[in-house]
Chain A
């Protein structure tokens, strides 16, 4: 069996290596365009965007936004016929990487506009909706936002209370409700709003996505004070009896949950690219700092513990970059189901960045903590990535359950299985039966360069182990898997490492083929370092499939809920 989607096949114990080899590459023309664009973007960022000032002022400023619009940064992925640049997923992500490296507030603002705000129009919009909305969004004359979260519905998006009722004459919906923490909420003109269109009392929740233009009945609250990305606008948005024409329904009525999930799937890649950019910027800061700062008569960069941090930063940044651009390459090659891969990139990207920023701050030590240097701002800015566009916990559950549910199954159904485990039973049992194939012969990564055979074996070995555990777990627990989050986490972490390491190997292999082993020294080294790291985690997770203290931990937590916290004392 060969799947288009790499990770879903991995859950079957299959290594669809033709999906990841050769590592994707841009064509000459696109590459040149992108290089020229990045040159402009870098000049813009260097001369106009002062990240420290943006953080202090809590706003990017109208002038900088106007220049970003004039540069074309608001229409990156919108097609040329609608006034945008029509960039591929790879080129888009690469531009977002550059912005993310320089200023997270601007990256988040741009991402909220086009990674998620207007994405529903690109994915599901009718020709008429595209004509009506995209040109002004591409030029930045209007700004978009994505409005899903509500006070009572964060991770549990299907629980939203905002509702839209069809007017008796069928011409429009009447929208009522409030949304929370909406990026760009303070100035957006077009909101992709998710509202319930099914009856609250009698029906299952059915969501619908609407394109809501700022106007009568649309208000926003004050800008929230935040830990980081302070220059981005985060506000509540209120809808009071807002009339939304039927023509502004995007996607099908009642299919809004799927619209939201697909938008986030693709949005997560932009987020991972931004994290990649930040990691690269941090590695540069760290490498400069350790060669400057002296202690005990030496540059701190000469100490083993510092070198270790640098080496691990390099390897992980390389792994993140490889996983991200492998995925965007798959998207550009026409793979339509990349939901697992993009969720992996989001979790891996945000956590890699969090690790890298923490270690960089540690290297900078005292000055790292001080407001006059960029480290503490970058640390604050980085933190959001683990929370929004799906928390990393929710995404781990998603990676595990969607992976285990097997190919062909819809995201919304998996989510339902999570929400309503009982109803998800049928699907999951079907899967367990469908998976009754033996995994006696591990699949091979035959296209990996021999220099990386040790790393290839790690992927082969743990893919077989993952598939075996998935099968055993499903046979043993069936529907209960939906409630087994410890197992889900192990499965997800295994999947993340397998994907990232496969990406490293594919990219290093390409580098060796092009530049020889000597010319590919860095990717080879970093693949080895990352491979060894990943192997430890994979082994740990594999062991815990067999023996763990999951139940003990759960009991301990439950007891604390009764205790009201930590009740021991030394007295």
Chain B
């Protein structure tokens, strides 16, 4: 199986308070931010690795995982991290952050799919910075491929996948035939979430994503990393223009009420929720 996994770096979500907007609201200040791979993308990569191996012997790769990111040269780090954990090849689409939005990325990915011809594009359900949750869906539409979003489990079957999506009150199973687009949710990295045909159903993964052994990090430099131009992949695509950025309003301090009567009265008269 050949899988394409798009990766995005995001400002460290644990340090979201470091995100600063200059007074004129023209942009988000990115200098000094620490970058991390988008967690959902890391989960998607982990799922892709599980689908291309026998869980008992992960060093023997069965299939190919190609990772792709969009950004300037320093985003190579994101790709190299993925190569170190087990991805086979990497592609960086050279561009600036301002040149991107969900539609541009989906178009460029669709174009890449033409040459890469993967059986599966496996994405995180959303990036935790913009939280737009749309690239996977737009991509499936552009490609006219079957799609399963928010996957919590994936079982490989002959010629396709059985994808479990968690919905209120149960699991909604979707069977997709290759080629397909799947976006992954948090639970995709649980111990028994993803099985390739090779992996024994009794096998249990360690929860969470795998991390690279240190020698693999050195070796990742030897794996192929191709750079493409955004213009070649998404020529003339319109891009959303952001007119102004604003930090969410500061929350006002709470108040203490004396008794239930005051609480009820305030809920009624001030909050107007009763």
Binding site for B on A (CB under 8 A): 29, 32-33, 35-37, 39-41, 43-44, 47, 70-73, 76, 80, 85
Q: Which of A41, A73, A80 contacts B218 (CB 8 A)?
A: A80
Q: Is the CB of A72 within 8 A of B80?
A: no
Minimum C-beta distance from A43 to chain B (A): 4
Bitwise interface map of B from 58 to 102 toward A, beta carbon under 8 Å scored 1, else 0: 000000000000000000110011001000000000000000000
Q: Is the CB of A40 within 8 A of B208?
A: no
Q: Is the CB of B217 within 8 A of A33?
A: yes
Minimum C-beta distance from A220 to chain B (A): 29
Per the bound structure, the CA–CA distance linking A44 and B209 in Å amounts to: 11
Q: Is the CB of B218 within 8 A of A32?
A: no
Per the bound structure, the CA–CA distance linking A72 and B80 in Å amounts to: 18
Minimum C-beta distance from B39 to chain A (A): 13
List A contacts of B80 (CB < 8 A). 32, 36
Residues of B in contact, count (CB < 8 Å): 15
Per the bound structure, the CA–CA distance linking A32 and B84 in Å amounts to: 12
List B contacts of A39 (CB < 8 A). 81, 211
List A contacts of B217 (CB < 8 A). 33, 36-37, 40
Q: Is the CB of A85 within 8 A of B215?
A: yes
B226 an interface residue at 8 Å Cβ cutoff? no
- Closest chain B residue, CB of each to CB of A43: B211
Question: A33-B218, A47-B208, A80-B218 in contact; A71/B213 too (CB < 8 A)?
Answer: yes
Q: Is the CB of A36 within 8 A of B84?
A: yes
A-B contact pairs, 9 of them (CB 8 A): A32-B77, A32-B80, A40-B211, A44-B211, A72-B214, A76-B214, A80-B218, A85-B215, A85-B218
List A contacts of B211 (CB < 8 A). 39-40, 43-44
Per the bound structure, the CA–CA distance linking A40 and B208 in Å amounts to: 13
Q: Is the CB of A40 within 8 A of B77?
A: no
B212 an interface residue at 8 Å Cβ cutoff? yes
Minimum C-beta distance from A48 to chain B (A): 9
List A contacts of B215 (CB < 8 A). 72, 85
Bitwise interface map of B from 26 to 40 toward A, beta carbon under 8 Å scored 1, else 0: 000000000000000
Per the bound structure, the CA–CA distance linking A36 and B83 in Å amounts to: 11
Can you list the 10 inter-chain pairs with the closest CB atoms, starting with the nearest? A72-B214, A43-B211, A40-B211, A36-B217, A72-B215, A40-B212, A37-B214, A71-B213, A72-B213, A37-B217
List A contacts of B218 (CB < 8 A). 33, 80, 85
Q: Is the CB of B212 within 8 A of A36?
A: yes
Q: Tell me the residues in window 96-112 of chain B with beta carbons closer than 8 Å to chain A beta carbons.
A: none
Minimum C-beta distance from B45 to chain A (A): 14
Bitwise interface map of B from 17 to 58 toward A, beta carbon under 8 Å scored 1, else 0: 000000000000000000000000000000000000000000
